[in-house]
């Protein structure tokens, strides 16, 4: 597939030619990524939360974060409280995974090229474009595996209620207990105080009706969101299969270990000193779902359908071992033999001078096959 890569000015274009390197930026750290990659990471995480709460409601015995001898209503509240606490403190597996991807992976964007050499894409992405006949990046870094995929364009307006419904589900069970979250900053002390209060005030005669009302409200919201979650799941199903078939085992092993270690470190800061050793021995925060990591990577290849004319292709360098990088970019070599031509926007200042300087540089370096137009 032909790929076009845009750059901001003549100086950057000359650097790309001279060094034969493309710079890959940290995934999710560009200003626009707050509304793109990070936004979709959050949607995926909230989607997983709704799935977990659905499991809690329909099969509470599968939740390991509560006492299975407690009455069902208390188990619903305690399980939801744990979910809410982890979300608010960004300690979910997906939260830590997103931070690892931001800090340790790198991404570069292309647009799908055309066979018409005279066709020049919009200036939106930069006035100078490098036109490659295929992905030119050379995987010469032992620490990374490169994955190339076209961006998948979704109608993200349909996904906006995932977050709102999740908040409503939290409110159904936790609204009367918000004072506990304000009073206790540590997870274990919060759980102890909340459970103690719930058991002290529990009256089995009146709680059955309350439990049924709560279940009715929660199931109503799950029904409301079911179409959205099913649509979301179906829209990303192809990419899920694609990632499963293209994900390197070494990358998954590294991410699983890395995410588990960081999550445990961060979570222990939210456990009182007296209880930390117990949580550490139990490995409470050490679990890391490799299948979930594969699904969450899809967040790096999603945009709203209003941008589908971009025809964007992304290449992401995923870590398979630790890489110490003093820069916030990864210098990635490319095969200049795959560069067909360079185009300069008609709106670029002193366009003819820029074209001549680039062409002379290419000739000087022996890349006479590349024309500038």
Q: What is the pLDDT of residue 360?
A: 97
Mean pLDDT of 63-92: 86
Helix H or strand E encompassing 8: none
Q: What is the pLDDT of residues 227-256, one digit of tens each?
A: 888 777 777 777 778 888 888 899 999 999
| Residue 99 clears pLDDT 50, i.e. is over it | yes
The token duo for 160 is 């906006």
CA pair distance 93, 293, nearest whole angstrom: 9
CA pair distance 214, 154, nearest whole angstrom: 33
Q: What is the pLDDT of residue 117?
A: 47
Where in 204-308 does DSSP place strands (E)? 302-304
Where in 242-372 does DSSP place strands (E)? 302-304, 312-319, 329-333, 339-344, 371-372
Q: What is the pLDDT of residue 191?
A: 95
**Is residue 156 within 8 Å of 306, Cβ to Cβ?**
no
pLDDT band at 354 (very low <50, low <70, confident <90, very high): very high
Q: What is the pLDDT of residues 26-71, one digit of tens each?
A: 988 776 666 678 778 888 899 889 988 988 888 776 655 566 678 8
Q: What is the pLDDT of residues 120-135, one digit of tens each?
A: 545 678 899 999 999 9
What are the C-alpha distances in Å from 260 to residues 46, 51, 92, 252?
19, 21, 11, 12
| Residue 259 clears pLDDT 90, i.e. is over it | yes
- List the chain domain ranges: 3-372
């Amino acid at each position: 597939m032909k790929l076009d890569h845009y750059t901001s000015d003549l100086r950057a274009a000359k650097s790309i030619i001279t060094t034969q390197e493309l710079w890959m930026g940290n995934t999710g750290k560009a200003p626009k990524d707050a509304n793109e990659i990070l936004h979709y990471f959050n949607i995926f995480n909230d989607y997983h939360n709704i799935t977990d709460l659905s499991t809690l409601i329909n099969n509470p015995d599968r939740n390991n974060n509560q006492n299975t001898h407690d009455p069902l209503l208390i188990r619903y509240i305690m399980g939801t409280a744990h979910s809410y606490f982890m979300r608010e403190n960004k300690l979910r597996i997906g939260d830590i995974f997103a931070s690892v991807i931001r800090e340790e992976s790198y991404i570069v964007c292309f647009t799908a090229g055309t066979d018409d050499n005279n066709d020049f894409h919009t200036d939106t992405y930069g006035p100078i474009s490098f036109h490659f006949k295929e992905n030119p990046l050379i995987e010469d870094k032992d620490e990374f595996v490169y994955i190339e995929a076209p961006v998948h364009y979704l109608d993200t307006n349909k996904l906006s209620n995932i977050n709102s419904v999740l908040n409503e589900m939290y409110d159904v069970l936790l609204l009367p207990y918000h004072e506990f979250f304000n009073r206790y900053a540590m997870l274990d002390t919060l759980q102890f105080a909340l459970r103690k209060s719930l058991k002290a005030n529990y009256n089995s005669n009146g709680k059955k009706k309350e439990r049924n009302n709560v279940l009715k409200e929660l199931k109503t919201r799950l029904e409301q969101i079911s179409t959205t979650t099913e649509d979301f799941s179906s829209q990303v199903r192809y990419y899920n299969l694609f990632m499963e078939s293209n994900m390197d085992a070494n990358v998954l092993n590294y991410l699983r270990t890395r995410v588990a270690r960081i999550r445990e470190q961060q979570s222990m800061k939210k456990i009182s000193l007296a209880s930390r050793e117990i949580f550490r021995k139990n490995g409470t925060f050490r679990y890391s779902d490799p299948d979930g990591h594969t699904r969450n990577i899809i967040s790096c290849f999603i945009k709203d359908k209003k941008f589908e004319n971009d025809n964007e292709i992304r290449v992401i360098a995923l870590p398979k071992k630790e890489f110490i990088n003093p820069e916030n970019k990864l210098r990635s070599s490319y095969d200049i033999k795959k560069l067909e031509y360079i185009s300069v926007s008609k709106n670029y200042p002193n366009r003819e001078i820029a074209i001549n300087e680039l062409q002379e540089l290419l000739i000087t370096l022996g890349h006479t096959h590349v024309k500038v137009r």
